[in-house]
Structures are given as C-alpha cells and as structure tokens.
Amino acid sequence: MSVSDTPTPSHTQTERVLSGMRPTGALHLGHYHGALKNWVRLQDELNCFYFVADWHALTTHYENREVIEKNVYEMVIDWLAAGLDPAKCTMFLQSRIPEHAELFTLLAMGTPIGWLERVPTYKDQQEKLKDKDLTTYGFLGYPLLQAADILIYRAKHVPVGEDQASHVELTREAARRFNHLYGREADFAQRVEASLEKLGKDGAKRFEKSRKKFQETGDTKSLEGAMDFINQHPDLDAAEKERLQGYFKGTGKAVLVEPQALLTEASRLPGLDGAKMSKSYNNAIAIREDKASIEQKIKRMPTDPARIKRTDAGDPARCPVWQFHKVYSNAETQAWADQGCRSAGIGCLDCKQPIIDAVLREQQPMLERAEPYVTNPAIVREIIDAGTDRARAVAQETMRDVRAAIGLAY
Ligand code: TRP
Ligand code: SF4
C-alpha cells in the first residue's frame, strides 16, 4: 500500500507534535513497540516533527562520535522502515538547526542549576554509564537542550516514554519562567489593535466593555461570553484569538507554549532475556535483522528455569517468552501457550514458533520499505534536507519572537 501520494491533512493541522531519538545504534523492536509505532500512528493525526538528536548523543558519546556519524542516516532508514512517511511528517537533523543552541543559551540564563541537578535521569545515567565521564556541563544541561528542542517548535504534544516525563516537566517550567520574565510578545499593543479592528466597531466596543468589567470585578460571565465570541469569530486566526484572550485577561500572549507529555501506553517489549531491551545488553532484535538471526535468537531465548526437562511443567510468569506472547499473540495463541506450559503439553520450542512467525511477519514489510533507501541512500538525505528546511522555518519564526521578547532586536 502506498500512502505517500495521497493528499495529506497533517501539514495543515496546527497542533504540533515533537519528538527525537538519539542516533547511538541500530533501532530494535523495543524502540519500535515502545515509541516508533506510536510516532507512525500520530503522523496521520497531527502535524508531527521528528528529529535525529545528534547533539544529545554527543552529551554521552563525545569521545566516540564515529558511532553517531554511522547511525544518523541508518536511524532514519529504520524510521522509514517502521512506516514514517515523509509526505506525512517532518524529519530532520538537530545539528543543522543552530537555533536550537541559541534558544538553549537564552533559556540557560534564567534556569537555576538546581532544576537540572534534580532531574532524576542526571544521577541515574551517571550511575548506569560508569565507564563514561558524565560530570560535564553538557550532560547537566542536556534536559534544557531538550526543552529548547520542544519549545522552539511550540509543540503541544511530546510523545515520550515514562523515563522522559521529568524532561517535559522541566520544559514546562522553562516556558513558564520565560513567559513570566519576558512576558508578552513585542508590539503586543499594536497587534491587539489590529485584531480588534477585525471585530468590527460594535464587536470591539462590546469586547472592551466586558474586558473592563472582567478586570474590575472578575465577572466570569463576561469572561466566558467574550471567549466564546472570540473563539467563534470567523475572521480571526489562532494567534489572533490567543492574543485577544491574553489581552482580555491581562496576561499578554505567551511567547513560548507549555507542552504536554504524550505518554506512550505502548506495549512494552522486554529483551530476549527479560531485562530491558538494549543493544548493549546483547538481548535485542533489530528493526532490520535477517531472518536466520531472528530465528536463532528466539530459539535460544531463556525460558522458565524450572522447566528443565520437556516433561516439567512451567510458569509463563517466569518466562521472557511469555512477554513476547503478550505483545505478539492473540488471545487464542496466548491461551494455548499458557495451558501448554502449565501442563507440559508443549515444549518450549513449540511455544516459541508462533513468536518467530509473528516477528518475521512484522519485519517483512519493514524490510520492503527500507529496501529502496538502502540501495539509494541519497533519497534519505533528500528527505532530511527537505524536512530540515521545513523545521528551520518554524524555528526561525519562534526565535524572532524570542529575541524581540527579550529585547535583543537592536
Ligand atoms: N532525550 C530523548 C531520549 O534520550 C531524546 C530527545 C532529545 C527528545 N530531545 C527531545 C525527545 C525532544 C522528545 C523531545 O530519548
Ligand atoms: Fe516459556 Fe513457553 Fe517454555 Fe512455558 S512453554 S517456559 S512460556 S517458552
């Protein structure tokens, strides 16, 4: 099925989604079920921006950047294999858009160090990655760089895993602080004037009257009435609506938008040994892996340690294979495996066969989608070039507002 030539609604939709991944290795099925599958779904619903977070990768891999270089475009091929479609979403490369670094610098001025030291991943990762020296300025600042990534696109939604929720929270705090410090957009008064004109003489008069009433008495009826009036007005665009609402309430129009984490209720797929799937634990199946290797890896998966002989009954709860059934098998197959295990009616290799089949079935279309990009990597670069141009235009627009709000427009 080719969807790339159907007209796409997503670019015209205003609610922007932003997420990124670090290019530190081939993506695996844990990434697919934990994040990518969700990205693919979202590209049909909202205006999605997805980027290769190569600067983020440098915060932990500054001593072996070859890894990053090797994986940037490979990761994009994995995305395309998983079903991201350049006609439906914008894919780009972080380091090509230096505005991310500019916003990061400006946000850094007013961000207390304590905010960053308290982010849970800071200490966790230093503990976990003991072989790396992560007592660096870049690593401490990394969640603020992530905040800049998000805020520069005024993204409403950020699809991330649980482990990243604290970074989105920091992003919200950074946005709130920025808006508090630098408040309303430049030339707010003139722009309000222009928007008011669109309401017509009578409309503007009524609007002003109820604004005064609301600001003097806090009358919520006036507020609700005016908000309805604004929201339903056919001649105002989204920015004008927001501006007039800010004017009515006396808050101004926010320069930066507070995002929401879109936590993936994704099926969690653990690694072959039951621990978190990770290339460095050697328990992963890549998104593009050859058939023989997949078969072999699944056949070698450890099972319930109590099932030593074929005649020993087992307990699926103690078996990593069962976790795969939960993701890959329907109710009927699950019941078959559960019963067969508990009664020693089936052997572990029997139990694994439907999973081998399902994983291969899942990979088939991914390999097919990847094929043209693998044979012709120039197309991948073109996709990223086009996406980067689109993303840069948005980033530059935000930065104009940011500079003006701070007063750097001299
Ligand atoms: N920190 C994310 C990770 O390690 C990657 C990332 C960087 C990101 N910037 C982002 C995710 C912005 C979402 C939004 O997985
Ligand atoms: Fe695991 Fe299946 Fe073997 Fe039971 S039968 S131990 S669930 S592989």
Query: Using CA atoms, how far apart are residues 337 and 345, in angstroms rounded to an integer?
Result: 9
Q: What pLDDT was estimated at residue 3?
A: 34
CA 50 to chain centre: 7
Query: Using CA atoms, how far apart are residues 105 and 151, in angstroms rounded to an integer?
Result: 13
Closest residue by Cα to residue 262 from 32, 39, 13: 39
Q: Which residues of the chain have pLDDT under 70?
A: 1-14, 184-186, 252, 265-267
> Ligand 1 pocket, 57 CB below 6 A?
no
Same domain (yes/no): 241, 296: no
Do the domain assignments include residue 11?
no
Total tally of structural domains belonging to the chain:
3
Q: What's the pTM value of the predicted model, to 2 decimals?
A: 0.84
Same domain (yes/no): 71, 171: yes
Same domain (yes/no): 166, 21: yes
Do the domain assignments include residue 4?
no
Q: What pLDDT was estimated at residue 245?
A: 86
Same domain (yes/no): 81, 169: yes
Q: What pLDDT was estimated at residue 14?
A: 66
Q: What pLDDT was estimated at residue 45?
A: 93
Do the domain assignments include residue 239?
yes
Instruction: Pull the structure tokens for residue 221.
Output: 């009826």
Q: What pLDDT was estimated at residue 68?
A: 93
CATH number at residue 29: 3.40.50.620
CATH number at residue 301: 1.10.240.10
> Ligand 1 pocket, 150 CB below 6 A?
yes
Backbone angles phi, psi at 371, to 5 degrees: -50, -55
> Ligand 2 pocket, 348 CB below 6 A?
yes
Give CA torsion, residues 15, 32, 98, 148, to 10 deg.
Answer: 50
Same domain (yes/no): 174, 312: no
> Ligand 2 pocket, 28 CB below 6 A?
no
Give the ligand at the shortest distance from the Cα of 168.
1
Q: What pLDDT was estimated at residue 254?
A: 78
Q: What pLDDT was estimated at residue 216?
A: 84
DSSP conformation letters of 247-281: HHHTS---SS---EEEE--PPP---TTSS---GGG
Same domain (yes/no): 365, 310: yes
Domain that holds residue 298: 279-371
> Ligand 1 pocket, 158 CB below 6 A?
yes
Give CA torsion, residues 147, 151, 157, 158, to 10 deg.
Answer: -30
Do the domain assignments include residue 8?
no
Do the domain assignments include residue 141?
yes
At which residue do the structure tokens 């399902």 appear?
A: 358
Question: For ligand 1, atom 9, which residue shows the shortest CA distance?
Answer: 146
Same domain (yes/no): 57, 159: yes
Give the ligand at the shortest distance from the Cα of 20.
1
Same domain (yes/no): 245, 262: no
Same domain (yes/no): 132, 151: yes
Question: For ligand 2, atom 8, which residue shows the shortest CA distance?
Answer: 348
Do the domain assignments include residue 315?
yes
Cβ distance 130 to 90 under 8 Å? Answer: no
Same domain (yes/no): 57, 117: yes
> Ligand 1 pocket, 264 CB below 6 A?
no
Same domain (yes/no): 55, 85: yes
Do the domain assignments include residue 3?
no
Same domain (yes/no): 316, 384: no
Do the domain assignments include residue 124?
yes
Closest residue by Cα to residue 52 from 364, 383, 410: 383
